[in-house]
Amino acid sequence: MSEDLRALADELNASFAKADLPARLRLLRDALGGRIVFTTSLGIEDQALTDAIRGQDLDIEFATLDTGRMFPETYDLWQKTEEKYGFRIKAFYPDAEAVQALVADQGINGFYYGLAMRKACCHVRKVEPLARALAKAQGWIVGLRGDQSDHRSGLRYVEYDAARDLIKASPLLDFSRDDVVAFCEANGVPVNALHEKGFVSIGCAPCTRAIQPGEPERAGRWWWESEDKKECGLHVAEDGSLLRAKESAQELAQESAKELTKS
């Protein structure tokens, strides 16, 4: 099965290169017989994808990871998006007991004090809920762009995600930020009010700031860390490879405890 999906990923990757955004989404839907899940963070890229998917009434499920630490503006946009497009975005929340254990271990904002502690928080609030959102899915759509970071510049339109055994598609991979903004403006797509205040890449409130002129797009995410570490674990593991499916919250908690001892 995995070899079939690898071959299909290669075929779709070649087809995406010659297609526009709506056609890429149709190609993916036509190629996969199983569930396709689009995970939206309600950032401007994901809003563009929402418009393109809903505009064609494609059979693609919407999911968002509500970490419990999102900006009020993000929740406002969530409501506006559902009202404009007439549907519900399914929310996946972190396990309550896991959050309680995390906060008891490292404090409410312990992620500021070490990379392992931050990754433990991301694991509880994002990675584990994502696993539930993608359970039994055959396809996964994300809003990654190749020019967002050095790591992402090496991605393909369509990949076989071995850790999750599914097809992962980035239909906006060759879009620039300006391309996405122009698409949203042309189609009347609602976007996060924080974008007008210098927030380019928007995640959890404690881990996101506005960027300064000349800074790269993701400079406002986990700004206290080095540039090569700025992924939450949804797309890569700490070493830059795909996140290991067997990587557990217990392993990350052990690393977190070590960081706490050092601080």
Which amino acid, 78?
A: W
Tokens for 228? 């090569």
Q: How distant, in Å, are the alpha carbons of 45, 51, 129 from that of 187? A: 13, 8, 31
Q: What is the dihedral of CA 236, 241, 246, 247, to 10 degrees?
A: -60
Q: Kindly report the CA angle at 237 between 191 and 70, in degrees rounded to 5?
A: 30
Could you write out the DSSP letters of every residue in 63-124? EEE--S-B-HHHHHHHHHHHHHHTS-PEEE---HHHHHHHHHHH-TTGGGG-HHHHHHHHII
The residue among 142, 111, 120, 124 whose CA lies nearest residue 222 is: 111
String of DSSP letters for 180-239? HHHHHHHHT----GGGGGT--S--BGGGB-PPPTT--GGGGBSTTS-GGG---SSS--TT
State how far Cα 75 lies from the chain centre.
16
Q: Which of these is catalytic: 122, 184, 204, 232?
A: 232
Is 122 among the catalytic positions?
no
Catalytic positions = 232
